[in-house]
Structure 1
Amino acid sequence: MVDAATRDILAQADGDEREEWRAELDPGRLAGLLRPAGAAPSAGDVWDHEEHRPGDELWLCLVEAEEGFELPVLLPGVPDAPNWWSEPAQRPLLPADHVAFLRSWHERFGAEVFFADGATLRLVVARPPSDPLTAARVAVEHFAYCSDLADDLPVMGNDRVRSTVWSFWWD
């Protein structure tokens, strides 16, 4: 899916823009722009999002599942990613696609679903990547999965993916 998203972005870009995207979406090149490994991951705040504030009323839904990454298959439409890809020819993000990303992140980084509602998804991450190349690869994965909250890719690789909380939002 990451390769397909990268190909689609490059196909839509023209000239200089294509080369800029190629540079940003290449984990090997992106890793060179990231800080070195060694610092502890930043402590994320699962409630640090403008849609939910302390005191807001939330609905709690308990779902019987072997693993949290199964949630999008058990509750189709959670999360809802209506604009996953802007090209009309692209198919929507399917529950199995969510599961593929979430399971991969669970197995590699201990990412667990903490919160999901409509178009918002937050993960608590036990072992965020610390080395630059892995952080760069995960930043590109995050961008392919959900570009709505995508800062520039170096910011994602230095900050967002090296945090104990990963947030995604689709509008």
Structure 2
Amino acid sequence: MHKEIKMTRRATCLVIILMVGLIIISVPNVAFAKRSKVVYQGKSFYKWAKGYSGGIDKNGISMPTGGAVWWTDKGGPKVSFSFGAGYGYGSVGLGISSSKGTRGQSVKIPATKHFYKVYVKKQVKYRKYKVYVWRYDPRVKRERWVYSSKGVKNLGVTARQYYAKRVCPNGAHHCKKGK
């Protein structure tokens, strides 16, 4: 009976040690916390995203008596940007247009037999940054700020324009005059 008690104590100690170890590993920033800092590079810069919104037929929409479509800023086809030198990519959605419903911004379609789509221009503000982490550097045998990664932060859309633009049906490069 005496040996059983020693085994139970030993087992209990092992269980407690394992539980404490699991808690330390599973809780972020407790055992292996590393400090990091973001350093912005240069001034902010702007990129223009341009293109047709989604939602309308690929040939456009014709309203011989005139009318409007609704454009919303969310979703839609994306325009992608490359920021070069390992800074990555960014993308901006051009929104969705619809001839049904009343959500979003109204875009007038002229009273002609021509076809139109909603053309969108968005100006987006960006700023490049680098991330440094506080870690041991074996070259100097001490901890210091070490370069970790870099990227570009999207600071938001600063300007937007949207309007009905005439398109050629069936993807023709030039529309026939008067048709």
- Coarse TM-score class (shorter-chain normalised): under 0.3
**Greater fraction of residues in helix:** 1
Q: Which has the higher contact order (CA 8 A, sep 6+)?
A: 1
Q: In terms of Rg, which structure is larger?
A: 2
**Greater fraction of residues in strand:** 2
**TM-score for both structures, normalised by structure 1:** 0.20
